[in-house]
Amino acid sequence: MTSDDKSLRGKLLRKQFYAIFMEPPEPFDDPIAAFGDLLEDHLRFLADLEMRGILFCSGPFRDGQQKWKGDGMAIIRAGDIGAAEEIAFTEPFHKAGIRRNRVLPWQLNEGGFALRVRIMDGSFEVE
């Protein structure tokens, strides 16, 4: 191991998060229809986590080219895996049995993003 390797390891962020993998027990023909009225509850649940500083990021596994299967992922801040599971298992889709949420610890070490905010038109871009 070179001194360069050691210096790079010293730069790792090592910020602890928890990834919640949200997967339907079986693929849906139409996930939006299957989620029904619970979609609003799910979105309110995520908005509340975001407002409380718990939700780091969230979204579906979707690329626009393939049919969406109703699965997604959220990355949250929590004190430990037990606290993360408590959050994951109270998510409305999981509670209703139309998704199975699985939690894994995830450590943010490297990466980057750019945020551009335009005040006048209230828009933003994340790159």
* Cross-strand bridge partners of residue 107: 16
Name the residue type at position 102. R
Query: 3-state class of 50 per DSSP?
Result: helix
**Predicted pLDDT at 1:** 56
Rounded CA gap, 75 and 55, in Å? Answer: 6
**Predicted pLDDT at 123:** 93
pTM for this entry: 0.86
**Predicted pLDDT at 66:** 80
Q: What is the pLDDT along the chain (127 residues), one digit of tens a residue?
A: 566 667 888 888 899 999 999 999 988 889 999 999 999 999 999 999 999 999 999 999 988 788 889 999 999 999 999 999 999 999 999 999 999 999 999 999 999 989 999 998 999 999 8
DSSP-derived secondary structure letter, 91: S
**Predicted pLDDT at 2:** 65
> Exposed e or buried b for every residue in 62-77, given b needs 16+ CB within 10 A?
eeeeeebebbbbbbbb
